[in-house]
Structure formats: structure tokens, C-alpha cells
Amino acid sequence: MPRYRKGRLLEPVVAAYLAGLVDGEGTVTMTRQHRNEKRRVVVCISNSELEILKFAKDKIGAGRITTKRTYNERHADSYAYQISSRQALDLLKQIAPHMKSYKARRAILTLKHYVRLTPRNGKYRPGVVKERERFERQVLSIRPSKSRDSISIPESGRRVTAARPS
């Protein structure tokens, strides 16, 4: 029986919606709180609509919402929903099949290796440490595609650069 608080089982339509939020407004990454600790998986969604993040937290059943600091009075209040470690893995298992961006590749790689390379007691065997560090670098090296095309907008005759659809 796991000691961590597991998230709820999501309805497929909710999982797809949350995948869209993560693809568009979120991130799948590996962070650490202290310099000497190993990174943990984190799924974060930033948004200025607090109700959207409350919906996500309610449906997932875990995580937390924080207020982001604004540095300009003209900027709207902004919030971040964050879930980490094994709870984030529970979420990724459900939303990864619906994800479309480079974050899907991060999610799949994390789901494949994170548990095997992360002992519950934090005691790493010597061979696992190097493999874990390599895994962290591999996840963080997955970035958005840089392929862009120039397209014409007929009404204005201008050329703009846009991401190539996949």
C-alpha cells in the first residue's frame, strides 16, 4: 500500500482536458528543492483563471495552487497548480496518451524510468546514481521543436513565422 496520497481516477474527457492544459499552459519537468537532493518529477499548470486550476485540483484530488508574484501592476493575477513525485506520475499515466507536444515525450520517458531509478527510501545504489543523473539530463534535454515555416497571410500580404503543425 503506497504511503503517498494517490490522485483520483480521471474520466477520459477530463484526462484529455487536463492534457490540453499541460500541453498549452503547463510543464512536465524535473526539479529539486535543495541543491544536494535528486530531482523529482513535477507537473505544473500556470493560468490567470483560478477557477480552471481549482477544477484541475478538485478532479485530480492532489497537488496545490499557489499565487504567482506580479511585478507589473498592469499584469493580471496569476496562479500555478503543481503536483510532484509519485502523485505527478499518477497524473501523467492518465494524461500522457492525450498529450501532443514535446511534453508528451518527457512524460513517457519519465513514466518509463522514474520509479525504477528512484528508491522510496532515498538510498541510491552506486550504479543507479549515474543512471539516474543520465535520466534527468535526458528528460530535461527534450525541448520544443525548432522547426518553423514562413507563411503568407492573404489579407495583409505579410509573411509570418509559425510553428509547423505535427
* Helix/strand/coil percentages in the chain, nearest 5: 40, 20, 40
Average pLDDT over residues 74-86: 94
Average pLDDT over residues 15-38: 94
Domain annotation covers residue 5: no
Cell 499518477 sits at which residue? 90
Domain annotation covers residue 1: no
Q: Are 129 and 50 in contact (CB under 8 A)?
A: no
* pTM, entire model: 0.82
For the chain, what is the radius of gyration of the CA atoms?
18
- Residue 146: the pLDDT is 75
- Residue 27's DSSP bridge partners are 44
Task: Answer with the residue of higher pLDDT: 76 or 110.
Answer: 110
| Structural domains of the chain, count | 1
Domain annotation covers residue 4: no
Domain span including residue 52 = 12-163
Domain annotation covers residue 110: yes
- Residue 78's DSSP bridge partners are 68
Between CA 28 and CA 102 the distance in angstroms is 9
Between CA 67 and CA 49 the distance in angstroms is 11
Average pLDDT over residues 76-95: 96
String of DSSP letters for 22-83:
HHHHEEEEEE-SSTTSPPEEEEEEEES-HHHHHHHHHHH---EEEEEPPSSTTSPPEEEEEE
Domain annotation covers residue 148: yes
Domain annotation covers residue 153: yes
- DSSP E strands: which ranges in 57-158? 64-68, 78-84, 148-152
Domain annotation covers residue 6: no
Domain containing 99 — which CATH number?
3.10.28.10
In sequence order, the 6+-apart residues with CB closer than 8 A to the CB of 111 are: 89, 92, 93, 96
Domain annotation covers residue 3: no
- What share of the chain in percent tops pLDDT 70? 85
- Report whether pLDDT(10) > 80: yes
